[in-house]
Amino acid sequence: MQRADLATELDASALNELASGFLGQLVRPGDPAYDEHRAVWNGSVDRFPSLIARCIGVEDVRAALLLARRTGLQAAVRGGGHSFPGMSTCDDGLVIDLSPMKSVEIDPDAHTVRAGPGVLLGEIDAATQAAGLAVPAGIVTHTGVAGLTLGGGIGWLQRKYGLTIDQLLSVKLVTAGGELVRASEDENAELFWGVRGGGGNFGIVTEFQFRLNPLGPIVLAGPIVWATEDSPEVMRFYRDWITDVPDELTTIVVHRRAPVSTYMPQELHGTHVVMVGCCYAGPIEEGERALRPLREFGSPLIDLCTPKPFLAHQALFDPTYPHGRWYYLRSRDVAELSDDVIDIIVDDALRITSPHSGFPIFQLGGAIARVGEDETAFTGRMAGHTININGIAETAADFDDQREWVRRFSAALEPHQTGVYVNFLMDEGEERVKDAYGAAKYERLRALKRKYDPDNFFRLNQNISP
């Protein structure tokens, strides 16, 4: 679909000036590639920017930013395009699209990797796993390294190696004024504190440097599945069992209707199930020992936890979150899976109607909690679990029902919320952004924002208002 008539007419001379030195691709309404490049992951987001600047290097980023500053165009910054609320695109403005910037450079001796802002998780994993190394990151391979890292980064390796930001060594970033700066523990340290959780509020990151850690490449991983009607007992057992598991083990519990997929027996398709997804980041035999009590609990319908390449495990949830479906999310951190929380969870699990909707419950703790709460802008290191309620529809037709389920479930959990992870916010307003940081950190982030972006140029994000 084209909507050139509605897109703001760009200042022709400013556009010509940009085009004269721009090395990447400039895509405008009417161009054959416009629809392909304006699309983002969440199919419920359908926006029509006036210009998409597909950058291939720092100079392109800077030139695009300066065009937006000169013309007053609103700018959205895009890495992997997986912002749940679609904040990496906009109507009538400029999308600074970093997705072509895909360099991944590994230093095998120093155990570090430099990644461009267009790299996806599956791409950095493929490169680092070839050397038996890994950066802890998220659970869906087509998510962007950039947005995920800037919010914190939780995933399968978090209890062993911490959040993605806990392995971040430095960033290079273009500020709102167009200046290229580097930030690390000993250079622009306050900015480095802020980018580790403060999102895209302070500038456009053009390079991330991470520490690498040994992993696999074969890990003991996969889901163990029970019927949701057994969930009250499974969840109570799980809650007690995880208090004593090694940090090598990270689990994610998912309630949903069993997906139609080759790994799931046909008779289970569409039935309500609870799956405890496991990933043991250590020797397989140790993992077998650690997992035995869980595997022997109750009557699992199927046990799919086996030794496999970490790369294969990383793709486990990819079919659940394809590009283009309609997604609605509410997320809440809770301290623990109390009886009250479990009762709410089971009740709402049984109300799932869509074949796609469901809710991962991430197990936190371990290495995440060993970093001090004030060491990074990310907040919530002492939380027990992050509960992500995903209402997913194929099209607009079923979307209202899914949203209703999410809202109702989320409201029931609200009294138990201890915080919220900023990368799992939709467009929920300033109070929820404050929930994500707490009052003291929000003020510290505001001071940083006033220094690096006093005009709030970077405002299409979970915004810290200067």
Ligand X SMILES: Cc1cc2nc3c(=O)[nH]c(=O)nc-3n(C[C@H](O)[C@H](O)[C@H](O)COP(=O)(O)OP(=O)(O)OC[C@H]3O[C@@H](n4cnc5c(N)ncnc54)[C@H](O)[C@@H]3O)c2cc1C
Interface residues toward ligand X, by CB under 6 A: 41, 77-84, 87-88, 98, 117, 138-140, 143-144, 146-148, 150-155, 199-200, 204-205, 321, 423, 460-461
CB of 357 to ligand X, least distance (A): 14
CB of 208 to ligand X, least distance (A): 8
In 3-state terms, what secondary structure has residue 281?
A: coil
**H or E stretch at 362:** strand 358-363
CB of 333 to ligand X, least distance (A): 13
8 Å CB contact between 448 and 194: yes
CB of 408 to ligand X, least distance (A): 22
Give the distance, in angstroms, between the CA of residue 460 and the centroid of all CA atoms in the same chain. 16
The residue among 197 and 300 lying less far from ligand X, judged by its C-beta, is 197
Indicate the residue type of 411: A
In 3-state terms, what secondary structure has residue 148?
A: helix
Residue nearest to ligand X (CB): 147
The residue among 238 and 327 lying less far from ligand X, judged by its C-beta, is 327
The residue among 230 and 362 lying less far from ligand X, judged by its C-beta, is 362
Compute the distance between CA of residue 325 and CA of residue 24 in angstroms, rounded to an integer: 29
In 3-state terms, what secondary structure has residue 360?
A: strand
How far the first Cα of the chain sits from its last, in Å, is: 37
Compute the distance between CA of residue 155 and CA of residue 443 in angstroms, rounded to an integer: 28
Q: Nearest to residue 204, comparing CAs of 11, 460, 420, 25? A: 460
Q: Which residue shows structure tokens 């998220």?
A: 138
The residue among 228 and 423 lying less far from ligand X, judged by its C-beta, is 423
Altogether, the residues listed in the chain come to a count of 466
CB of 235 to ligand X, least distance (A): 21
Q: Nearest to residue 277, comparing CAs of 258, 293, 257, 254? A: 254
Q: Nearest to residue 330, comparing CAs of 360, 352, 351? A: 360
**How far lies 30's CA from each of 6, 12, 274, in Å?**
11, 16, 47
8 Å CB contact between 144 and 120: yes
Q: Is 422 exposed, middle or buried (0-12, 13-18, 19+ CB in 10 A)?
A: buried
**How far lies 364's CA from each of 151, 178, 251, 372, 384, in Å?**
16, 37, 9, 14, 5
The residue among 22 and 327 lying less far from ligand X, judged by its C-beta, is 327
CB of 99 to ligand X, least distance (A): 8
